[in-house]
Amino acid sequence: MPMPLSPPHQNLLSQCFLFRPIPPETLPALTKNLSAESCSPGEVIYSPTRFRKAMGIVLEGRLAVLKGQDLLLKTLDPGHCFGAAALFPPTENYVTTIRAQTPSTLVFLPDHWLVSLFETYPQTAVAYITFLSQRVRFLNRKIDSFTAPSVRETVLGHLLTIHQDGVAEIAGGYSRLANALNIGRASLYRALDSLEAEGRIRREGRRIFLIEDTLEGD
């Protein structure tokens, strides 16, 4: 059921890339006609044939981004957004499935609302274009990771595509990662051991920290 945006939700939105260029005190008036929506674990938010012309932002909980029914590509935590690339092109299908992993709260920014925002605050349009440019770069890295000449470069390329602020979360586990990259588990672990020995990464369970020099060379 839709509900008003709470002050903590407003504060989270102010940190989103789209709203950073504008004064935080203007946000309540801008978003007064938007509502937060709740969803249950397992609920499908977007699918290839069921989605909105709106950019979604996670306010609470966690969503899973899936290819097909069970290949986990990434997870979305509070502050993360989805659907930005499918807002304006006349597409009939969404490229992934987004499903709630936990009880979650979301807000959707419709395409017409965003057009009005861009007209009022042109700097937010620049922020949106910058975000899409980063997504293009992400996809280029993804292509490179699958055409890399060695397992080590494939693994490193994948880590560079999925990291956030230098941390790559292996949410589905290392076995699933090996399947996604179409390499054996032993080869994956050897590649990770090699990268760690070179000082390119540091592992802590399912979190892989990319060392600063690795990010700078990206």
Q: Are residues 61 and 158 in the same domain?
A: no
- The neighbour count for residue 135, using CB atoms within 10 Å, is 12
* 103 and 42 share one domain: yes
**34 and 112 fall within a common domain:** yes
Distance CA(49)–CA(47), nearest Å, equals 5
Percent of the chain with pLDDT over 70: 89
Boundaries of domain holding 142: 137-216
Q: Do the domain assignments include residue 119?
A: yes
142 pLDDT above the threshold of 90: no
- φ, ψ of residue 143 to 5 degrees: the values are -60, -45
Q: Using an 8 Å Cβ cutoff, are 191 and 181 in contact?
A: no
Number of structural domains, the chain? 2
Report the range of poorest mean pLDDT among 2-11, 89-98, 101-110: 89-98
Report pTM. Answer: 0.67
Evaluate if residue 55 carries a pLDDT over 90.
yes
| DSSP H/E element including 80 | none
| Residue 35 within a domain | yes
132 within 8 A of 84, measured Cβ to Cβ:
yes
What number is the average pLDDT over the span 89-117? 89
Structure token pair of residue 152: 């080590």
By the 10 Å C-beta count (0-12 exposed, 13-18 middle, 19+ buried), 208 is classed as: buried
pLDDT of residue 171: 82
| Euclidean distance between CA atoms 151 and 190, whole angstroms | 9
- Tell whether the model's pLDDT for residue 44 goes beyond 60: yes
Task: Specify the pLDDT at position 104.
Answer: 97
Q: Of 73 and 194, which is predicted with more confidence?
A: 194
CA distance 96 to 142: 15
Confidence of residue 18 (pLDDT cuts 50, 70, 90): very high
| Predicted pLDDT at 120 | 94
